[in-house]
Amino acid sequence: MSSYFTDLAQQYIDGEWRPGTGSWDIIDFNPYDDEKLASITIATVDEVDEAYQAAARAQKKWAETNPYARRAVFERALRLIEEREGEIAEAIIAELGGTRLKAGFELHLAKEFLREAINLSLRPEGRIIPSPVDGKENRVYRVPVGVVGVISPFNFPFLLSIKSVAPALALGNAVVLKPHQNTPIVGGSLVAKIFEDAGLPAGLLNVVITDIAEIGDAFLEHPIPKVISFTGSDKVGRHVATVCAQHFKRSVLELGGNSALVVLDDADLDYAVDAAVFSRYVHQGQVCMAANRVLVDRSVAEEFTEKFVAKVRTLKAGDPRDPETVIGPVINSSQADAISGAVEQALADGATALVHGTRTDNLVEPSVLTDLPANSPLLKQELFGPVALLVTFDGEEEAVRLVNDTPYGLSGAVHTANIERGVAFAKRIDTGMFHVNDGTVHDEPIVPFGGEKQSGIGRLNGDTMLDSFTTTKWISVQHGRSGFPF
């Protein structure tokens, strides 16, 4: 595993591993023990240009390659991940502070998405559409967009890089990938290494490890990429969308959330507790779909709260390498500061801490807050950390209002003994995804994934990848002679 952080601490452009030419280095730290994992000289604007130029050169031949031949690359990539699963898991634990459970979860999904990419290679189909003009044949072809820029986040970097990179490549595009600065290896160069070893031709996947302070908007504004796929915060996503619109590019935005898990008066409380604790605390709450808010009908609130708090107190926080650890470190000190500050501000505003976790460096123990004022900003924002907000409500109408009272609309869940009651409830919520009698954290390769409101634009997964990474082209054929008015 350690060889990843030495051998892959470089840029990957046009099939070559090389150092960046920037004047400073990104230092890659283990967020748990602050161990220096790698030092990577950043890419400059010139290298971003070289990466996009290489992608453009390689893409046309790749698009003309038989899709069955393209498919073979992803089959080999899948086998390589399976063979190296232990090493990749160790890298996830080291670079992200992810627990062993989380590393396994991420790898499982990454393999599932690669399997879907294998199928996606053969998915594009053309159409023949009738014409009102005699003798005219309308052909509609589905073709690659060309080059796709992918910006991946720090929380599930291996999975979320592959989730856009693999489909874009499978559909005949080339890709330039910019991983998050905190996860440059797992989210960037490791992905490139796997595809290189799987036989992907040079230039089709390029990785630039850099920082906005160095390149500004060059990654977004460059004239070559036709689509930018961004996963991250709504604040940055808004900027990405604005820049893309100014340059007539398509943006696919998977942004933050403020999801709620709702417990109705007829729910199985023990099961709802299990779902809520997982939905809030998986990967230290650093998940866009995490249940920021747990809404409970007042008639069952006392019993639910008692069980919920008891379970949270059992969650072991500590070294993510320990198989017993459930709560590892958050990604960096800025994130730890923000979480601790949010808790203290909530308490100052009148909230009650049923569990008040302590902080040691980047390790933030779980907290459970209740009695938040109705106007508390914490109830409407995304809280990317191990803090649960318990809110009581009186009846379904109030529950619907509370769930929707947020600028986000990504995921959510409702628990009830009556499935159709749950489905009816879900239909009233302004989200892209909602789950009945389950957790809020789900992702499946062929089901459309995405949000409403400030949680994003567009969808990923399955056939929606065709909408994201291909375009349509109308070619008409006139059989015989057409008539013209002059």
Residues labelled catalytic: 254, 288
Whether 464 and 448 have beta carbons less than 8 Å apart is answered as yes
**3-state SS assignment for residue 480:** coil
Residue 343, phi then psi, degrees to nearest 5: -65, -45
Residue 357, judged by CB atoms within 10 A of its CB (0-12, 13-18, 19+), counts as buried
Residues paired with residue 364 on neighbouring β-strands, in sequence order: 359
Rounded distance, CA 264 to CA 33, Å? Answer: 42
Residue 212, judged by CB atoms within 10 A of its CB (0-12, 13-18, 19+), counts as middle
205-207 and 387-393 strand pairing: unpaired
**3-state SS assignment for residue 313:** coil
Rg of the chain over Cα atoms, rounded to whole angstroms, equals 24
Rounded distance, CA 275 to CA 285, Å? Answer: 14
Cα 189 to Cα 5, 158, 184, 309: the distances in Å are: 10, 10, 7, 41
**Helices and strands per DSSP (H, E), number in the chain:** 16, 24
Rounded distance, CA 288 to CA 440, Å? Answer: 10
39 Cβ contact list (under 8 Å, min separation 6): 9, 25, 26, 27, 28
Rounded distance, CA 112 to CA 271, Å? Answer: 27
Rounded distance, CA 105 to CA 426, Å? Answer: 26
Tokens 């159709």 sit on residue: 420
